[in-house]
Amino acid sequence: MIHETAIIDPSARIADNVEIGAYSIIGADVEIGRDCWIGPHVVINGPTVIGCENKIFQFASVGEQPQDLKFSGEITQLIIGDRNTIRENVTLHRGTKDGGGITRIGNDNLLMAYVHVAHDCQIGNHVILANSASLAGHVQVDDYAILGGFSLVHQFSRIGTHSFSSMGSAINRDIPPYVTVAGNYAQAHGINKVGLKRHGFSDEAIRAIVNAYKLLIRSHKPRADVLDEVLSIAADYDEVKAFVEFIQTSERGVVR
């Protein structure tokens, strides 16, 4: 199941039932879990650990050195979980010493063509990055977030769970959970109600999230003036509690 033209470093560890296509290159210190499909003309460099049942399409560059002038060849990693789909021309870079040393991608994610994930990014589970979405270094993307095509994310930003960015968004601040953003620079445009309904959020929880959003994101009142009201909503809904905690702990500030 390994094409005769593929080049596999002797130190690479390839599990059972892995298919590797023509002219692909698997470098040193690469580990590939069972049932993965690696298409033709893929380059994977290490140290990189890839879990099980992943699909990596042609011309992807996985585990390359970070694009960071401070990087001086130190040993860092890219770690990828299970059941991810990595499409054509995606670039995934290893971490840096100053950023914790690991770029991490979780499970069940879809990275469409030309997506870039820079050094030290942390991507959760069930994330969708549409075509040409680009993450600068140290970005965190929480579970179920969706970034539209050509979205650009500034380094050290955090993208909250179940949030959504429209095509071409330039994101320079944190996006709280459930929020939809658009524009350059990105601004908040409401709650991702469709996504929340698809993932089983109750109508009552969605209404509570909308109320909290209006108070903390849409309102022109100082946060301290509305916080007691928001906390009273959060007392009955864990979803709102997560929303409030995200905003309170944001280091870059959140979109408004």
Q: Which residues are catalytic?
A: 119-120, 137
Query: Residue 232: which residues within 8 A CB-CB, separation 6 or more?
Result: none
Contacts of 240 (CB under 8 A, 6+ apart): 205, 208, 209, 212, 230, 233, 234
